[in-house]
Amino acid sequence: SDAGGPIDVDAVVIGAGFAGLYMLHELRSRGFSVRVLEAGSDVGGTWYWNRYPGARCDIESVDYSYSFSESLQQEWEWSERYPAQPELLRYLSHVADRFDLRRDITFDARVTAAHFDEAAACWTVHAPGLPPVVSRFCIMATGCLSVPQVPELAGLDDFQGPVHHTGTWPESDVDFTGRAVGVIGTGSSGIQSIPVIARQAARLTVFQRTPNFSVPAFNGPLDPDEVREIKANYSHRRRANRASVAGLEWAANEQHTFDVDEHQRRREFENRWRRGGFHLLGAYADIRTDQRANDEVAEFVRGKIREAVHDPATAEALLPYEHPLGSKRVCVDTGYFETYNYDHVALVDLRKSPLETVTARGVRAGGVEHELDALVLATGFDAMTGALNRIDVRGRDGYELAEEWSGGPATYLGLGSAGFPNMFVLAGPGSPSVLVNMVTAIEQHVQWTATCLEHLRRNGYRSIEATEQAQHDWVEHVRELAAETLFSKAASWYLGANVPGKQQVFMPYVGGLDVYEEICEAVAADDYRGFDLE
């Protein structure tokens, strides 16, 4: 890698978050040489960039962590039930050190182009200012929520105070003490940050376009006895997670909503509510498929919102009616709705008072100018395809990825794409990753990919490529499955509805991690059925 000459490796991995780090470790331990290129200045991916106040995972720490190393999972101590961003970043940094990963990672390397050379069956990957990396395999670990979506708000450039997107929060402390702060957006990022910002700011104004479902985390310190018990049976728990629909083994009810009477239903909802987080979603098996069933649990949550918010008009404005519960990712919060009970916190309902323009001194909505010192954009991401489409990816015969995917992402199993030999996507569109415990999904993708590379090496193949037919069938299958659920009833980032002009196609595989892994294993066992090996 001296003097700008190309770096030659077996595999280049783009991204050093949960997926990229484990991919590096797994490939290296199987004897492949690897170079990781990472846009950030350190490891962490999502957990490197999303430093906004209150940033926290919505999956419990004992499950949202690697299972590949028994000593790692035994020795690492999580402090809280739901891990906060700084702790997750410490964890990933520890993993990088523990497995000596940093020596194969180039930081501050934002990849702009990846081109496949058919004659050599190699990829050349470019990041400005760095020597190109030439490798047989190109593995995209670029993240699902890694490209911030900054809305085109009139006047945004005129605003005189600081503007921060939650997904690119500065590393230095942002101090809102004594300030009037505006937050636009009430997805997970908004809902997590609003209570924390409210504790600091002199005034907080929340601009809400669509109310969202949120359930309390009931976060807190982990109980040492419970942790001891989990660690005593950790591998069993991990296996159960891996063999489950959502990458979380906790029991989802097999019963249907109307199998039981109202009284029983209410009790089940209450019990699950008190366990916190996504437990409520597992209350009945038909919540995600039957609108009437969904209405029951949705109304239960709306009841909780009415109880939490004192002012009836504010409560009313916060009630989600626009989409079924769970058709957008349910938010997991700490004191979100209660925050509106503070005198210094105000909610602006943009449906009634549309956002007109940002001004030098604030935001004007419904004819009223709200004066602000700082603006927070919790406006989400160009999800799932954003990062890949921003790289000039060119495959065989001049195929351009952004062009090929302009009508929606086309993958086989989410892992490969026709026209792009030797390219693998981790947690890609067409995989279940964003709907399940992401770390469990990532481990499955990484292991499948590493095993595939070994298979190619052992059998002297130099390239693998998804066939057009297999890809077509998979894309259809993914769409059909989604159409049978209530997911299609929400204008969510799952289908790109949050990015103006983006082709709306439902991207994640809704069939469950368990079924997905069975399919991937069957494909591999059948000599990589649906892929051409050369």
Instruction: Choose which of 67, 85, 93, 189 interacts with ligand NA7 (CB under 6 A).
Output: 189
| Distance from C-alpha of 12 to C-alpha of 48, rounded to nearest angstrom | 21
C-alpha 266, offset from chain centre: 31
- The answer to whether 187 touches 165, Cβ cutoff 8 Å, is no
CA atoms within 13 A on the CB side of 534: 13
Least distance (Å) from ligand NA7 to the CB of residue 182? 11
Task: Find the helix or strand (DSSP H, E) in which 478 lies.
Answer: helix 468-483
The CA-based dihedral angle spanning residues 444, 448, 450, 454, taken in that order and rounded to the nearest 10 degrees: 160
151 or 161, CB closer to ligand NA7? 151
| Residue ranges in 307-346 that form contacts with ligand NA7 under rule CB under 6 A | 329
Give me 276's structure tokens.
């916190």
Contact status: 437 vs ligand NA7 (CB under 6 A): no
Site stretch for ligand NA7 (CB under 6 A), options 106-114, 378-386, 389-397, 446-454: 378-386
Looking at residue 223, its amino acid is D
**Residues 354 to 373: which contact ligand NA7 by CB under 6 A?**
355
Could you give the string, one character per residue 120-149, with x where binding to ligand NA7 holds by CB under 6 A and - elsewhere? -------------------------x----
Q: Considering beta carbons, is residue 355 or 524 the nearer one to ligand NA7?
A: 355
Contact with ligand NA7 (CB under 6 A) among 49, 405, 493, 506: 493
Instruction: Choose which of 142, 146, 379, 389 interacts with ligand NA7 (CB under 6 A).
Output: 379
| Minimum CB distance to ligand NA7 smaller for 18 or for 32 | 18
CB hemisphere CA count around 28 (13 angstroms): 18
Out of 124, 135, 146, 186, the only residue in the binding site for ligand NA7 (CB under 6 A) is 186
Burial environment of residue 261 by CB neighbours within 10 A (0 to 12, 13 to 18, 19 or more): exposed
442 belongs to the binding site for ligand NA7 (CB under 6 A)? no
Please give the Cα distance from 110 to 128 (Å, whole number). Answer: 7
Interacting residue with ligand NA7 among 209, 396, 462, 489 (CB under 6 A): 209
CB hemisphere CA count around 497 (13 angstroms):
11
498 binds ligand NA7 (CB under 6 A): yes
Using the contact rule CB under 6 A, the part of the chain among 101-109, 376-384, 407-415, 442-450 near ligand NA7 is 376-384
User: From the CB of residue 80, how many other CB atoms can be counted at a distance below 10 Å?
Assistant: 16
The reply to whether 440 sits near ligand NA7 by the rule CB under 6 A is no
The correct pick among 210, 253, 289, 488 for binding ligand NA7 (CB under 6 A) is 210
Contact 138, 422 (CB under 8 A): yes
Whether the CA torsion 164, 167, 168, 171 is positive or negative: it is positive
Q: Could you say which of 131, 151, 161, 530 contacts ligand NA7 (CB under 6 A)? A: 151
Within residues 64-83, the interface with ligand NA7 by CB under 6 A covers none
**Where are the extended beta strands (E) located within 119-197?**
122-126, 133-140, 163-165, 180-184
User: Which residue ranges make up the site for ligand NA7 (CB under 6 A)?
Assistant: 145, 151, 166, 184-190, 209-210, 329, 350, 355, 378-381, 493, 498
